[in-house]
Amino acid sequence: MSDSTHGLSRRRFLAGAGIVGAGALGLTLYRLRERAPGTAWEPAQATPVQPVQYGDFTDLWRERWTWDRVAKGTHTRANCIAACSWNVYVKDGIVWREEQNAVYEPPRPDVPDGNPRGCQKGACYSDLQASASRLLYPLVRVGERGSGQWQRISWDEALTRVADAVIDTAVEHGTESVVFDHGTTNSGYGPESSGEVRFTEAVQTTVIDSWAGVGDMPMGAVQSWGMYNCEGTSDDWFRSDYIVVWIGNPASTRIPEVHFMHEARYRGAKLVVISPDYNATCVHADLWLNLRPESDAALGMAAAQVIVEENLHDADYVREQTDLPFLVREDDGRYLREADLRPGGRDDALYVWDEVEQRLAVAPGCQGDGEGGRSLALGALRPALAGRYTVQDRNGRPLVVRPVFERLRERLAAHAPEKVAAATGLAPALVRRFARELAAAPAAMIFASWGACKHHHSDLFQRTMILLMALTGNQGKPGGGVRVAAWWGLDGLSRLTTHGQPGVRDLLRVLPKALRGLTPRDYEQLYTEHSQKTPVVPLMPFLYVHGGYRELWSRPDLIDPALPRTMADYMRESIDRGWIEMHPPEDRSPRMLIFTGSNPLRRWPAPQHALRHLWPKLGLIVSVNFRMSESTRHADIVLPAAGYYEKYGIKYAQSYLPYLVLSDQAVKPLGESKSEWEIFGLLAERIAQRARERRIGEVRGYRDRPLDLARAYEVYTSDGRYDPHDAGDPLKLIDDILRDSPSVGGVTAGQALAMGAVPIVGPARPGPEYQTSSDYDPQDTCWPHRWFVDDKVAWPTLSGRQQFYIDHPWYLEADEALPRHKDPPGAGSRYPLRINGGHTRWSIHAIWRDHELMLRLQRGEPVCFLNPADCRPRGIDDNDRVRIFNDTGGFQALVKVAVGVQPGEVIVYHAWEPFQFPGGKGCQEPVEAPWKPLHLAGGYAHLHYRMYYGAPSHSPRGTPVEVQRIGAHA
Amino acid sequence: MTPAVGPQTGSGARLGPETATPVEAAIADARARSRAYGAFAQFFEYPDDARAAHIRSGALAADLVDALAALDVVGTTATDIEVLSEAGAPGTMAIEFTRLFEAGAGGASLHGSAYGASGMKDMEEVMRFYRHFGLALAETPRELPDHLATELEFLHFLAFREAGTLAAGADAGPWQRAQRDFVVRHPGRWVPQLRRRVERRQPMRLHAVLLARLEALLAQAPARCGGVTGNPASPTSASV
């Protein structure tokens, strides 16, 4: 380590040692400097030129500060489901405070405005950015992994070590053995995320897709809609008449938005909360349905049964927008297909029975309708919802078919409120009241966001929620429908990647379709093709194959007993058929891991398995982070990332707010931290340099195709267009992004950064996850799915409809072709209690979780909430310390006795870092998170995997445990 | 360390009342404090190879112990020189420094804002102190103003100016009051907490002794800086 690395010159160092000549007392200033050299004080002069005035410390406070600068900032890589612009106050190169930048205009006079936006976490980010958990210097591990023994190294040495490790891995095993996990925290629309995207593309590392891996994949929406993005602006909630919060807690997790729900009540809307426990959102509810945990599908189906039985459903909407009129064969339970009726017939042409013409008709909008499956408009067609019909198959034999709706009626009958009362714990009269109110409301919505994705059978829950909205005609109406999440697109986001704009060949290939207008199915095909060009792998299968979780997830008690085959069977078939492509290939191992912001050892299920089985495979683990997370503690090299106010960025544009929020570089990065744009650029450069110096030829890249790592930097910089060495380079990228994005009205980077929040003024091209599926009107609130409901565009499903019948062979054998209630695998566990919970109010995942300002607002250390009925027999008092455990693992926490918790639940709000627990064992230790093998299914139109779509969802909720008192809190 | 300006103080030995005037004694006291703070500041810089070698040579320890002895800092003994020179094998001190004070989670931060109820407010006041006395943060290292080494450097500066002002026969009150207030409100408040946190992490003897001596020096500083007057009331100390 050279002195110059820390700016400590030899001369000043020796002067500080006192060798300055006889008779003089040395003044050594290293960290401080004179503000005006040569005037007030001279270092060599003992006596100040001018006398100083100082009475006591109050003198300091009389000197008013004027700010050097007020920048516009946000928290780009905090993965909070919001976007809030802040005024960031800078003095002497430090951010001292931030205030909400209240600039948002309501689109119409009859909805409240969205100001202010910004939660208590954002309001103290300046404190977090300056906290002790910051990483300021590159570090190399010198003890055992996790021992906390580190040594600073220079950036030069760190980059060379990492680059050589990448090259060594690539030479010996191929670049797919370098695994990159960017998690879901650390996503942005700007240079702060482009760095890692470009790096992974330049080096062709395996990229872990953690969307489903963190339990954020609404598989029920994927199964029903062929998409999951479903939301508009949050002010649209104000227009709802019946707001159902179902498995969610927006009072804690949608802090800038939830007021629209509360304000809607002033115009007569009702707020209904469906939750086992009385959570913060229940405080404002008009009706609280405290169902038993994981009985949500039972409740949904029961409500649907009431609606259908009492003829409260919107039959016209159902005929047009759903597959409920589609005909299903009685013999094998599959849709009737053209291939069934004539040789050479299409397998994706599906049928309805036309009541007008009394004959079969190919359903408009299904994938094989002969018109490209573009429109579901029925015209004169009137599909039957009832009846039993006999047709002739291709061999002349009779085939009996019925509409899905008939089958649904039968399924619903088994879920009548009385029949599921034991499962739900709800009085049938209450369920009927809920169903009738829902159906009668002019506009009813169901808020069911990421929390509704984290149970084993969450897909069934969501399918029933979507069914309710479809039966009542609410999906696609203002203030109506299931609402999950969506983002505004930016056409310029292609600049984040090295692929950039589509090439001529790409454009020519889609031109015929583009001339008619690309449909959501067409876009989905493009996204899928793009995904297939990269070594992306969903997290759960990766952990199953490479992470050491095979044995755990193959346990019979963690599998749905209704499945006729084992997890291994389903995984094998999925890989063999190419539905899930494993990276690195099964016959190789991951050898190196690079993660940014992701915190695998905090949030992966039972992370001790990863430490035991995956970590030893990894020759080098690199963390790029701004704080010392649990996972970073177990890394080998740490590359310090700049804080949010220390780099340029664009917050991912959550659709709640019709603005694009940007972050200026308010101050320079602390210590030697760097922006991710610069870090990954330098790393790509070093890899290229070392490849040349070491005379490394081509290595095996993606799918073992030859890859020249000596070109890594050229690829990263788009052949020299960008220069990560240039401090202004990120602005150039932002300029490129905005210039290519007409939806933000042609602002420049400078203008946008000065504004902080730039209005969305028009639509953007749909992206892999960025769509509301509605045209945008800046003079109105935005709600989702208008393309399908108003414009009759076909949904991107096999049927071209909201699809409630899935005749994939796996779903048929699991008896989930139609939604239904199923007990979770853990229902029969000998462990009597269940861990449930939600996102904490006091952090954004693990960021802020250990921050003192937030800890002071709660009990300050990990705590679980238990009902008194569960505490009494266990001898547990409030604030006792307990152990929460099962056969897989356990952790300790304090207890908060809470009557609002349903008996049987152990509520643990998420994201405590394991190092905050005694013994370093965090709350994921007992979480087996059994996931559904059905989510591996592919080869079925909208049931497929591609990056950020589909894949098995991490299901941590409902883990069976026991709780044992350890003692009183010391 | 070299003798001070003015009457020879030899190797920095304390001037007894029988040999020095009150002004000379005050100058010597200020000089000793300046030397002590300056030496402490160097100990709390990251011990790269060069700095660790300098510590290992014993020169820094000798300078510090000499100054502490001149100030009658409680606990100072001759063996402190040996302990404060125990830098270990090359790299050992750097690893230990990072383990104790850096790398976030579970460490004992060297930043004062980690120990008070007021966080950034404490840091802001530190910055106001620096500004008031004509100082700013250096371009490198780019660290926050409440780092212990920075705060000690500031005290080193204040005591240096105090000595010079006294030697010039001018009013050194502002320098003394500033030292008093700064110590009471900042490192004097949180260094004891730092020391307790470090103790729990089983530190090298060097750091244990260093922090003990620093705490003792800071404890006596208000009295040595003209006594405690006015209202230097410090923010509530957070429990460790």
Q: How much is the pLDDT for A14?
A: 31
CA pair distance A476, A783, nearest whole angstrom: 7
- Measure A57 CA to nearest chain B CA, in Å: 6
pLDDT tier for residue B95 given thresholds of 50, 70 and 90: very high
pLDDT tier for residue B13 given thresholds of 50, 70 and 90: very low
Cβ-based contacts of B171 with chain A (< 8 Å): 51
CB-based contact A338:A349 (threshold 8 Å): yes
Q: How much is the pLDDT for A505?
A: 59
CA pair distance A644, B197, nearest whole angstrom: 29
Least confident of A402-416, A766-780, A849-863: A766-780
Average pLDDT of span A674-680: 97
Strands A863-866 and A637-640: unpaired
Q: How much is the pLDDT for A114?
A: 93
* Cis, peptide link before residue A293, omega less than 30° from 0: no
Average pLDDT of span A22-51: 64
Two tokens at A662?
């940007």
> Which of A815, A812, A789 minimizes the C-alpha distance to A802?
A789
DSSP label at A614?
Answer: I
Q: Which residue has the higher pLDDT, A113 or A461?
A: A461
Helices (H), chain B: 22-43, 49-57, 59-70, 79-83, 92-101, 120-132, 148-167, 173-185, 187-200, 205-224
Residue with the two structure tokens 């906290």: A131
Cβ count within 10 A of residue A587: 6
pLDDT tier for residue A181 given thresholds of 50, 70 and 90: very high
Two tokens at A969?
């809190």
C-alpha count within 13 angstroms, C-beta hemisphere, residue A623: 30
Q: Which residues, 6 or more positions from A517, have their beta carbon under 8 angstroms from its beta carbon?
A: none
Q: How much is the pLDDT for A28?
A: 87
Q: How much is the pLDDT for A253?
A: 95
Q: In what order do the strands lie in the sheet with A178-181?
A: A150-152, A139-141, A637-640, A620-625, A592-596, A178-181, A206-209, A536-538
Least confident of A193-207, A848-862, B99-113: B99-113
Q: Which of B42, B98, B132 sits opposite A16 (nearest CB)?
A: B42
Task: Give me the phi and psi of A940, to 5 degrees please.
Answer: -140, 80
Q: How much is the pLDDT for B12?
A: 44
Residue A17 has pLDDT above 70, yes or no: no
What are the domain boundaries of chain B? 22-224
- The DSSP annotation for A350-396 comes to BEEEETTTTEEEEPTTSTTSSS-S-B---TT--B-SS--EEEE-TTS
Average pLDDT of span A434-463: 96
Helix (H, G, I), strand (E, B) or coil at A34: strand
CB contact under 8 A, B141 and A6: yes
CB-based contact A98:A86 (threshold 8 Å): yes
Cβ-based contacts of A24 with chain B (< 8 Å): 2, 5
pLDDT tier for residue B116 given thresholds of 50, 70 and 90: confident
Task: Give me the phi and psi of A375, to 5 degrees please.
Answer: -130, 140
Residue A642 has pLDDT above 70, yes or no: yes
Q: What is the ipTM of this complex?
A: 0.88
Q: How much is the pLDDT for A864?
A: 97
Query: Which CATH superfamily does the domain covering B22-224 fall into?
Result: TorD-like (1.10.3480.10)
- Measure A478 CA to nearest chain B CA, in Å: 45
CA A310 vs CA A416, A420, B7: distances in Å:
12, 18, 105
Task: Give me the phi and psi of A434, to 5 degrees please.
Answer: -60, -50
Residue with the two structure tokens 């990990």: A862
Q: How much is the pLDDT for A509?
A: 63
pLDDT digits over A815-841, tens only? Answer: 999 999 999 998 989 999 999 989 999
pLDDT digits over A374-405, tens only? Answer: 999 999 999 999 999 999 999 999 999 999 99
Give the dihedral sign, CA A772/A776/A782/A786: negative
pTM (2 d.p.): 0.93
CB contact under 8 A, A850 and B178: no
Mutation choice for A interface testing from B113, B135, B197, B234 by most A CBs within 10 A: B135
CB contact under 8 A, A23 and B140: no
CA pair distance A242, A271, nearest whole angstrom: 6
Cβ-based contacts of B127 with chain A (< 8 Å): 91-92, 94
Two tokens at A452?
């509704």
CA pair distance A658, A778, nearest whole angstrom: 8
Helix (H, G, I), strand (E, B) or coil at B29: helix
pLDDT tier for residue A131 given thresholds of 50, 70 and 90: confident
Residue B7 has pLDDT above 50, yes or no: no
Tally A–B CB contacts below 8 A: 252
Average pLDDT of span B107-121: 86
CB contact under 8 A, B141 and A35: no
pLDDT tier for residue A1 given thresholds of 50, 70 and 90: very low
Q: Which residues, 6 or more positions from A770, have their beta carbon under 8 angstroms from its beta carbon?
A: A229, A486, A487, A488, A489, A490, A493, A653, A764
Q: How much is the pLDDT for A504?
A: 56
Nearest C-alpha in A relative to B114: A132
CB contact under 8 A, B232 and A52: no
Residue with the two structure tokens 């250990």: A850
CA pair distance A39, A522, nearest whole angstrom: 71
What is chain A's alpha carbon radius of gyration, rounded to the nearest angstrom? Answer: 29
Residue A19 has pLDDT above 70, yes or no: no
* Mean pLDDT of all residues belonging to chain A: 92
Average pLDDT of span A419-436: 98
- Three-state SS string over A758-778 comes to EECCCCCCCCCCCCCCCCCCC
